[in-house]
Amino acid sequence: MTGVSFWSALVCGLVLATAVRAGEGGAWLARPALEIPRQETGAALLDGRVWVSGGLLAGFPLRATASVEILEPGAAGWVPGPPLPEPRDHHAMVALGGEVWIIGGFSADFRARSEVWRHDPDGPAGWSPGPALPAARGAAWAVVLDGRIWLFGGTDAAGAATDTTWRLDPQAGGWEARAPLPTPREHLNAVALGGFVHVIGGRDGSSTAAHERYDPATDSWLARAPLPTPRSAAAVAALDGRIHVAGGEVPQLFAAHEVYDPTTDSWDSRGPMPVPRHGVAAVALGGGMLVPGGGVVQGLLPTAHVDLYVPERRVPLLGGGGVLLLALLLSATAARSRSPSVRRPRASAP
């Protein structure tokens, strides 16, 4: 084997051997912290910007905030957004039709509201009223699917967990009831994936492992594999065709990070949250799950911490120095292959 082929084979072998194993289980990466520690927030992604709204602040008595923070693509930190008309926590938040929407919630008193607000970043300043909910809801969850907003579960004005399934078509008008959620609950999570909505976890007193899939085409529900670790108020996002559920609370604060594969109707585990939290609304961002703020003690203690979970990728383990070394090796071997061979004259036969 020549020097060139030996080194080329060695380098290629190292790259191939490490590429498949790189990032097994993914990684949690620290991102710019929020300006204000907060929990029980809303969050949404609109035109590459992450919006975080409202939430409970640190200290007693409990106080909700109307403040909004926005993270621009590639920015080094969060900037203020248009404040909500009133302080809110435990509200639902989505992005649809070039607008961000705030739906229901509490105001540090755990009394559900029915107001809906919407904001167009390219329109007039501030928020305008949207179609109000048919009844007050707090600690519910909303998703966008098929150009409509879907709201699930939550508490009513009396504080009882509900089986709400409501749909809003902004072009058609108000909210309408659909097939009720089989397991009434609040502090739940929901995520749209593959034309369905998966409603996962939550609580009605104690936390549940319930996982039910809604089919909007047939207005029907189907039980799916239960969440391995029953919990509520977790972070959830759909990444690469799978559903990630991280953190949460009741009966304790959880760091667990579990992933659902709809093709096999099964769960497995990933690396736990480095800073366990509850009461946090996550967003899918750039192929990862951004988790801004949340509470670091069950029910309490909001944080400004933000991290991003990046799933496993088939990328080389080589860092920047390794890539440079690889380039130098390839350059040197290529130059060597182009150089004329220098050989000693072979001795003549006697």
pLDDT at 335: 42
> How many whole angstroms separate alpha carbon 94 and alpha carbon 143?
6
pLDDT at 172: 87
pLDDT at 313: 61
Residue corresponding to tokens 């949207």: 130
3-state SS assignment for residue 45: strand
Instruction: Count the neighbouring beta carbons within 10 Å of the beta carbon of residue 266.
Output: 12
Cβ atoms of 213 and 237 closer than 8 Å:
no
Please give the chain's pLDDT, 350 residues, in tens.
444 333 333 333 333 233 333 334 699 999 999 999 999 999 999 999 999 999 999 999 999 999 999 999 888 999 999 999 999 999 999 999 999 999 999 999 999 999 999 999 998 889 999 999 999 999 999 999 999 999 999 999 999 999 999 999 998 889 999 999 999 999 999 999 999 999 999 999 999 999 999 999 999 999 999 999 999 999 999 999 999 999 999 999 999 999 999 999 999 999 999 999 999 999 999 999 999 999 999 988 999 999 999 997 633 343 434 333 333 333 443 444 344 433 333 333 33
What Å distances lie between residue 182 and 44, 95, 185, 223, 235, CA to CA?
26, 26, 9, 9, 22
Torsion (CA) 48, 34, 104, 210 in degrees, nearest 10: 80
Give the single-character DSSP code of 330. H
| Domain architecture of the chain: domains with CATH | 1-25+315-326 (no CATH), 26-310 (2.120.10.80)
> How many whole angstroms separate alpha carbon 178 and alpha carbon 31?
39
Rounded to the nearest angstrom, the gap between the alpha carbon of residue 7 and the centroid of all alpha carbons in its chain is 43
How many Å is the maximal CA-CA distance in the chain?
111
End-to-end Cα separation, the chain, in angstroms = 31
Instruction: Count the neighbouring beta carbons within 10 Å of the beta carbon of residue 274.
Output: 13
Token couple for 86: 């009133």
pTM of structure: 0.83
Token couple for 164: 């709400």
Query: Which residues have CB under 8 Å from 262's CB, separation 6+?
Result: 193, 194, 198, 224, 241, 242, 243
